[in-house]
Amino acid sequence: MDNYNDHKKILLAVDCIIFGFDNQNLKILLIKRNFEPEKGRWSLMGGFLHTDENLDDAAIRVLNQLTGLHNIYMEQLRTYSAIDRDPVERTVSVAYYALINITEHTAEINENYSAKWFNIDEAPDLIFDHKLMVANAMLRLRRRALSKPIGFELLPKKFTMKQLQTLYEAILGETLDKRNFINKINALDILLKTEEKDMNSSRKGSYFYTFDEEKYKFKVSDGFTFRL
């Protein structure tokens, strides 16, 4: 009844919504397209699926090619298939979103490709349906931030409570009460307070914390669920 040969094959692409945090604002990394169509306009980082890789690998490859980064948190978002989403040829695109901590990787992010960070609310118009992808990624990020400790992917290894709170405020788009926020975080019991202080932000200095991934994993395997 169904035969593989009866069906047209089509191009499969991946597009990456790359989030970063500069201790102030949530940002996305965009590139200026250097090929047609829509050459010169801003776009998500994308590429086509190769036959010897799966989609996750393709997304990792694309991200690596355009930023030089390895070991980045990525997650499949959803697949976009509007018939005319790409004017040149029928292309279905699988969107991924990635979280990068900008501060530790500034050097590695390759500016050769005209890549540039934009504040999430100051991003330029994007080609195709990329704006929709970003909007969906933003919603997903918000949900995830409340149910998984993904925030730490966006921060340097050592960070202050203030940084963490500012990040969550940027992601959630609302201000949070300092005491309640710290109480919640401490109740989770997945951070290590270091001896070290950040002396740049204030005269008193504020302690650096690190995310205790071991402890977190152990607690999860013990039935614990992160919930902010």
Partner DNA sequence: TCAAAAGTGTTCACCGTACACCCATGG
Partner DNA sequence: CCATGGGTGTACGGTGAACACTTTTGA
Q: If residue 81 lies in a helix (H) or strand (E), which one and from where to where?
A: none
Residue 189 interacts with DNA (CB under 7 A): yes or no: no
User: 128 is written with which tokens?
Assistant: 């195709």
CA distances from 153 to 130, 150, 173 (A): 23, 5, 18
Contact 200, 181 (CB under 8 A): no
Of the candidate spans 49-57, 133-141, 156-164, 196-204, the one that interacts with a copy of itself by CB under 8 A turns out to be 49-57
Residue 8 interacts with a copy of itself (CB under 8 A): yes or no: yes
Query: C-alpha angle 114/119/120, rounded to 5°?
Result: 110
Contact 37, 117 (CB under 8 A): no
Name residues contacting DNA, limited to 143-172 (CB under 7 A). 160-162
The torsion defined by the Cα of 47, 52, 54 and 55, in degrees rounded to 10, comes to 0
Q: How far is the CB of 7 from a copy of itself (least distance, A)?
A: 4
Of the candidate spans 42-50, 65-73, 138-146, 203-211, the one that interacts with DNA by CB under 7 A turns out to be 203-211
Q: Which of 24, 40, 68, 82 binds a copy of itself (CB under 8 A)?
A: 82
Q: Considering CB under 8 A, how many residues would be counted as binding a copy of itself?
A: 35
Residues forming contacts to a copy of itself in the complex (CB under 8 A) are 1-4, 6-12, 34-35, 47-56, 76, 78-79, 81-83, 88-92, 94
Residues forming contacts to DNA in the complex (CB under 7 A) are 160-162, 177-180, 182-184, 197, 201-207, 227
